[in-house]
Amino acid sequence: MWKCLHTENKNKEDKIADSGVKDKATNVKEQTETKKKDQIDIDAEKKKKDQIDIDAEKKKKDQIDIDAEKKKKDQIDIDAEKNRATNAKEQTEKKNRTDETDNNEENMKDDALEPKERDYQKESSDTCDLEQMTEETDTESDTPEKELSFEERIQRKFKGYFPLPVGNLKEPSSTNLVRVPDESHTKQLEKEFRRKPFNYYTLMVVNIPGLSDIPDNIQTCKLETIGGNHSRIALKNILKDKELSSEERKKYEERLCAVYCSLTPQEAKRVGLEHNTIHRFGKDIDIFARIECFRSTLFQRAGFNKKSDIQTKETPVDKNLLNEWKNDLEMITGVENRKKLNNKFRFELFLAQFSTPCWLQLRSFIDNFKGSKRKQKNKISGRQLRCLDGLKEKTILDLLQKNNNQHVDFCKFKAMCDEHKSKSSSV
């Protein structure tokens, strides 16, 4: 019996020992598991902190690159504007040299005159000089405004570069507008600005109407955007976003602007067209936008200043008015004389003078044609419109009416134009 009790006690002790070993193993396992989890958490936290540091460093480098790119593009725009001013100055000096040569020739002729005749001309000249002096006493400078070239008059009205709040920039008046804003280009700019605020950074051009100089508080003036109007609209659309953080908002609230004062409609359009030429970030002027600009200038010369007038009023046909209109276009386009204007823009001048019914059909046809293009750019080239060249307006109106629907078949339209031309040539 004693042996049985001894055996039983021994078994109990063995079981207790085994249980202790198992508990110890379990504790070791749990400790190992806990340690492993703690290490995972530590590694994750360390990795997270490392990633934050990496992101911060990357953001810092990106900002440095953005600032460098912005500074570079600012300098490009400023240099381009300075080059334009230099070109204007060179043209002035060239004109002065020409005038000096003419004066020398006139003096040589004067020396060849008989004394009495020369005295008579001198007396007549002195009288004219006195009259001119009387007229010029109220001018602000030694050189009267009327003696300045078109480029010099523009340069005199340039006041410098100023960082201006986007919220204060306005759409130009209808008389100073080069073209109606293109919504698709505005949306494209908006996406680009959101992706990289300074990627498409461009110098904007502002005119302050009614003032001869910049006041102390320029922000209180009317600031009409004659260059960079698409950018102005895109930036304002972004600033309307209520979810934009204050830090992000600062990137869009201000832009560097070249400021002019009291530009005439012709001067404003010249500066606006040059802005699109020298600034690689602007939207190119397609042929129809140029034609529309020419037409609006014609109507403005006739006293029609509303945007809608080119579609509702009868097209002016007075010969004297058309002559003045072409003088305006010479200044706006920078073409030297009438012959060069007619040679370079003959086709555009023809379309710009369409009667109002024909113009409305052409406007509708262009809109439908742009809407029919899918993956192509929302733009029409001069080559595409050239099929109308050589046709009479009455024929063009008839062809436009037959082909004006939502899905323009341009190949069919061109074939019809060519057919009419061949019939006309065979008659």
**Consecutive H or E run containing 205:** strand 204-208
Using CA atoms, how far apart are residues 179 and 182, in angstroms rounded to an integer? 9
Phi, psi dihedrals of residue 123, rounded to the nearest 5° = -65, -40
User: Looking at residue 143, what is its pLDDT?
Assistant: 54
Residue located via tokens 């192509």: 376
**Consecutive H or E run containing 258:** strand 254-261
Q: How far is CA 73 from the centre of its chain?
A: 15
Taking only the tens place, the pLDDT of each residue in 265-305 is 889 888 888 776 555 444 556 788 889 889 988 998 898 88
| Residue 264 Cα distances to 132, 143, 226, 230, 374, angstroms | 25, 19, 12, 21, 39
How much is the pTM? 0.48
What is the three-class DSSP state of 226? strand
User: Looking at residue 195, what is its pLDDT?
Assistant: 79
Residue located via tokens 């051009």: 205
Instruction: Decide if 132 contacts 235 (C-beta within 8 A).
Output: no
| CB neighbourhood size of 192 (10 A) | 15
* Mean of all residue pLDDT scores within the chain: 76
Residue 36: burial class (beta carbons within 10 Å; 0-12, 13-18, 19+) = exposed
Q: How far apart are the first and last CA of the chain?
A: 143
Residues of the chain below pLDDT 70: 1-25, 70, 73-74, 76-146, 197-202, 276-285, 371-380, 406, 426-427
Instruction: Decide if 225 contacts 170 (C-beta within 8 A).
Output: yes
Cα–Cα nearest to 356, from 405, 393, 399 = 393
Options 3.40.50.300, 3.50.50.60, 3.90.1530.10, 1.10.3720.10; which CATH number does 158-263 get?
Answer: 3.90.1530.10
User: Looking at residue 80, what is its pLDDT?
Assistant: 65
Cα–Cα nearest to 272, from 154, 380, 149, 112 = 154
Using CA atoms, how far apart are residues 359 and 199, in angstroms rounded to an integer? 38
Q: Where would I find the H helices in 334-392? A: 338-352, 356-372, 382-385
Phi, psi dihedrals of residue 224, rounded to the nearest 5° = -95, 130
